[in-house]
Every structure is written in C-alpha cells, then in structure tokens.
Amino acid sequence: MKRLLLLTAAGLTVVALAGAVGLPDLAGAQDPAQTPDSITVSGVGTIDAVPNEAQMSFGAETRRPTAQAAVAANADAMRRIINALRQAGGRELATQWVSVYPYTDQNGQVDGYSASNSVSAVSDVGDAPALIDAAAEAGANQISGPGLSSSNAEALYRQALGKAVDEARLRAEVLAKAAGRSLGSITAIVESGADQPVPLYDRAQAAEASTPIVPGEQETSATVSVTFSLR
C-alpha cells in the first residue's frame, strides 16, 4: 500500500513539472499587437487631352403601304448608307437596331408601315465631317453624335492615377508636419471608380468643313485613398 502511494505521488510530481515546462505564457499571447500610427488621405489627379475619335449613329426610316415593302426599301437605303460610310473612312460599323411598326391616320386606321435601321461608326475626329456628309448624301435621315473619346484613354487614366497618388502624398505631408510627425511608407491604396472624361472647352473651329466638328479638350480624372504610416 505504501508503495502504491509513493508511485502516485511521483506521478503527480512529473505531471506538474511537465506542465510548468510545456505550457505557453497565455497572458503574453493574448496581448494585442501594437498598431503603428497612420494617416489616410484622398488624392485627385487629372489629365487634359484632345479626343481623337468620334462615334456617330446613322440611320434611315422608310414608309411604305406594307411592312414587307417598308423593310425592303429600308434595306436598300441602309446598304447605300453603309457603303458610303466605309468609303468615307468609317470603321467599326455595327447595327444598333432594326424596327418595323404601323402608323395610323387621323381616324386611327393603319395607313402603312415604317421601317428603320441604325448603324454606328467610328472615325478619326478629322474625318467625322466627311462621314456625316457622305451618309446624308446616301440617304440617311437619322444622324446623331458625335461621341468624342481618346483612343489612348487607358494610358491617360494611368497618368491621372499617378498624379492622384502624388497629390495624396503632398496632403499627407502637410498634415503630418502640422502634427509634428513625418511620413513613413504607404501601407494601403484604394482606387475609386474611374470618372468619365469631361469636355472642357473648344480649342479651334474645324476649317473648310461643311459639317464642323470641334473636339475641344477632355479631362480624365482619378481618385485614390492612400494610407501612410507615421514616424
């Protein structure tokens, strides 16, 4: 009996020693990590550029006594318009819509059918007047646009992003200095959605063109939120 008691006591001593050696310092592990001071500011960058591309819509509407006749006449008109657009330098031609609907007289009776078709085309800004004139001469009676854009829009936006980060750094430096601190490294950057190019002003009147197109300038802007550590 004494031997059993002695063995039990020895076993408890071993378990106690093992716990003392192997258990981690739970109090120390639960201490939260210290987060360094930081500052978050917004920056906006803008780039001005003259758009070099124009997108326009050209269509024709024809009326005939029957829907079949209206569609056939409209198809002939659109073939002439599309051919004229290509010859005038239009590219990326794409059909936008085709529609046929009845029209009525004063008594509400169907008096025939109207068919319409519209196609979009892209050209250099300098070729846009010739495109409009060619389509009109070919029989287009529905013309809209131009929508002006830059073929290097993505490159312009990347430039604006770089300027936005620079602007954010300048603002952060002012704030940090006012607080008696200095800037450390960038710890986070959040990009806001890209803004659509905004027309600024007309630069020059298109000369010697029967349909003048004045591209003006467009402003491409980008906004970022940047977080800096503080020292």
Half-sphere exposure of 189 (CA within 13 A, CB side): 16
pLDDT in tens, 85-102: 999 999 999 999 999 999
| pLDDT cut 90: percent of the chain above it | 60
Tell me the pLDDT tens digit for each residue of 11-48. Answer: 444 434 344 444 444 444 444 444 468 999 999 999 99
**The pLDDT value given to residue 24:** 46
Nearest alpha carbon to residue 190 among 223, 155, 156 = 223
Entry pTM:
0.61
pLDDT value of position 230:
94
**Predicted pLDDT at 12:** 41
- Average pLDDT over the chain, rounded to an integer: 81
Rg of the chain over CA atoms, in angstroms?
A: 36
Domains and CATH numbers, the chain: 38-50+152-230 (3.30.110.170), 54-149 (3.30.70.2970)
Q: Is the pLDDT of residue 113 over 60?
A: yes
What integer is the mean pLDDT of 205-229?
Answer: 76
Please give the Cα distance from 196 to 220 (Å, whole number): 7
Q: How far apart are CA 17 and CA 51, in angstroms?
A: 80
* Residue pLDDT, tens place only, 165-191: 999 999 999 999 999 999 999 999 999
More confident site: 24 or 139: 139
Q: Tell me the percentage of the chain whose pLDDT exceeds 70.
A: 76
